[in-house]
Amino acid sequence: MSVLVDEDTRVIVQGITGGEGKFHTQQMMEYGTNVVAGAVPGKGGQEVAGVPVYDTVERAAIEEDADASVIFVPPAFAGDAVFEALDAPIDLAVAITEGIPTQDMAKVKKRLSEVDTRLLGPNCPGIITPGESKLGILPGNIFESGNVGLVSRSGTLTYQVVDNLTSRGIGQTTAVGIGGDPIIGTDFIDALELFESDPDTDAVVMCGEIGGEDEEDAAAYIAEHMDTPVAGFIAGRTAPPGKRMGHAGAIVSGSGTGTAESKIEALNDAGVPVGDTPNEVADHVEDFL
């Protein structure tokens, strides 16, 4: 079992004819992802990596009976690409693109409340169910199939924590990247909910970072609704207020909200142990199992 994607997930790649799109389509297919089509306006009828390209996501979804779409579209056009994915007959859209204007994402967020399609990202590494399927840019070789779910706002931090888990023989059900932007589709609570109802996920790792209050909200959710144990990690303890630490969402506001301390405290209060190092997170997970 897994959440959101498995070996049967039929995947469209938006932006498949671009450099990034083409490269990662090949990488995904090598990993075993069932990529069935590409969607690029004006490129309908072409073929990339052995799959047909359609002019619209809707056409690709209908013709190839697709379930999900991965979006590798430049930031200026990505908001529109996400809308197109949400309006197409698929269940999941994964937006890898970094740098989408915040106001575009506010409109996307509004649209999300009206459709059944789920969005991961933007500015995320994607999602992987080890041994079955990956949608995005995660390096497949560090993951291993197992019973720990992982949800994270950051790409390379996910890899680090997964590496700490895998090297101890602790595998993963699914790893979900939710993205480092201020406004995202699926949030921590949504992902935690999915893992809580997945019978094969025996423990969950949640990697947060400074900025916003999503981790605090997630802590309240964990305390109230979760039986599956959760271990946490929060990046940005040493971040100075008012500075954007790489991610658009990673900023401690002048008024003191969004700090690592507040998030760690909220998680601890919810019974979630927070590792001081990624390796300590793996220690906590090992204790759970």
Partner 1 sequence: MKLHEYQAKSVFADAGIPTPASTLASSVDEVVEAAEEIGYPVAVKAQVHVGGRGKAGGIKLVEDREEAEAAAEDILGMDLKGYTVEEVLVEAAVDFKNELYVGVTMDRGEGKPVAMVSTKGGVNIEEVAEEDPDAIAREHVDPAFGMHPYQARKVVYDAGVPAAVASDVASVLRTLFQLWDDRDASDIEVNPLMVTEDDEIVAADAVMNIDDDALFRQQELAEMEEETYEDDLERKAGEYGFDYVRLDGNTGIIGNGAGLVMTTLDLVDYYGGSPANFLDIGGGAKAERVANALDMVFSDENVDAVVFNIFGGITRGDEVAKGINDALEQFDEIPKRVVVRLAGTNAEEGREILNDDLVTVEETLEDAVQRAVEYAEEVEA
Which residues are marked as active site? 247
C-alpha 212/C-alpha 184 separation (Å) is: 12
Tell whether residue 110 is a contact of partner 1 (CB under 8 A): yes
Tell whether residue 153 is a contact of partner 1 (CB under 8 A): yes
For partner 1, the closer CB: 1 or 99 = 99
Structure tokens at 186: 């699926």
Tell whether residue 179 is a contact of partner 1 (CB under 8 A): no
Which residues 6+ apart lie within 8 Å of 103 measured at CB? Answer: none
Q: Which one among 158, 166, 201, 259 touches partner 1, defined by CB under 8 A?
A: 158
Tell whether residue 268 is a contact of partner 1 (CB under 8 A): no
Token pair 């359609």 is found at 54
Which residues 6+ apart lie within 8 Å of 190 measured at CB? Answer: 118
For partner 1, the closer CB: 36 or 222 = 222
Which residues 6+ apart lie within 8 Å of 90 measured at CB? Answer: 12, 57, 61, 66, 67, 68, 69, 117
C-alpha 162/C-alpha 282 separation (Å) is: 9
For partner 1, the closer CB: 51 or 235 = 235
Q: Which one among 111, 193, 241, 288 touches partner 1, defined by CB under 8 A?
A: 111
Contact positions toward partner 1, by CB under 8 A?
75-76, 99-103, 105-107, 109-111, 125, 137-139, 141-142, 152-160, 163, 180, 182-183, 207, 209-210, 212-214, 217, 233, 235-240, 243-250, 253-255, 260, 276-279
